[in-house]
Structure 1
Amino acid sequence: MTSIWERFKFAVATDLDALVSKKEEKNPLAVLNRYILEAEKQTTDTGKWVERQAQLNVKLEKELDEATAMLQKRQSQLELAQASGESDLSVFAEMEVAAYSNRVSELKRSISENLEELTGLEQRYEEMKHKVKDMKVKQLQLMGKENATRAHHQMDKVLNPELAAERLGSYDDMASYIKNLGAKVEEDHERSAMERRLELLEKKSAQQKEIG
């Protein structure tokens, strides 16, 4: 019974999506509106990842502070053990100093890499926010143009019937422009995503060469 109900819900949802898509084909501005909503969601999700990256950096710095403090403590204890002639304590303290020294070095390297990544993420995040904002401004401009065109068309049907067809033509031109704009934004987004993947691939390849 549950399976049948799930299939029914899926079929209804599919039909609704098809209906919405069909309506949007006749209204390019609706396509742009929908794309902006998706872009806003992606930007919000990206912001969460950027925030998480910053939080990780704070945790790394906390670990570095603790490791540095322990390193200094063990170095002081090593000097005391050596001065006191406590050979077994000296050996233990030397091992601890080496361990904390390695940890401090590793944490410093990780923090440096993380800060570099964080800076890049923050820059791209700001670019995303500006992109969405520019799209919303363009959306308002196009909505105003669409509204004015519709209003003129209605007026012309009464005041200047001979201009009605011309007004309708300008509206169709505007609709075509919006549709092309949406396609261009989608293409730019896809190209940007591919470029980021190529950069990541190059970085991984360089790291593998360093390890090898």
Structure 2
Amino acid sequence: MSGLLHLGPAPTRPDPALWRDLRDVPSSVLADVTRDVRAAGHPLAMVAPRAPFIGPAVTVEAGSLAQWRALESVQPGDVLVIASDGRRDCAEFGAVFAAIAQARGVAAIITDGLLRDRAEIAELSMPVLAAGSHPASPFDPSPGRVNLPVMLLGLTVRPGDLVAGDADGIVVIPVESLGKLADRLPAQKAKEAALQKAIADGQMPDALIAGLARIPVQPAP
């Protein structure tokens, strides 16, 4: 059975001190700080509303065996990223898998595929994002990959990359971009706060209005 798996090395997880404070930053703010941060939304959706999360990625691609093997290597705080390769004829996992992942301290599970046992998964405290649901058993005998780069909704996710998410979707933060993100984030947060205050005070900033006015408009027929 081991021949069905392509295993990469254990991910190098960045020091939590470098990213712990990002947990409460909305994905929309992180996505606007630098183009190094890549984002994905629809069709990803949380099974049930949960608090924002962030953690280093443990990546899985194809193969039911690969998903279970990945559970052997997770550490508390990891985010399981399961790429489906576009499969839509079965679920990628169900409630048993998700419950074990939660028990092992996984911060979240993300798949661009489908899941089953939605009602049971919705009762877990762990955030779970998927593209939809399907009742068929998550069986796939094809070769699987664990802790190797995967493609998820057009994003390359590498083992150890930071993945953050909330109700809007997810962002992928390359480890080598953490320094740039940390340097630029205060300015972005200040900009967002100033805009929100101006709106709350009933004073839409002139610069924003002028910028919106320059957006091309298609005349109505």
TM-score, with structure 1 as normaliser = 0.20
Q: Name the structure with the higher helix share.
A: 1
Q: Going by fraction, where is strand more abundant, 1 or 2?
A: 2
| Greater Cα radius of gyration, structure 1 or 2 | 1
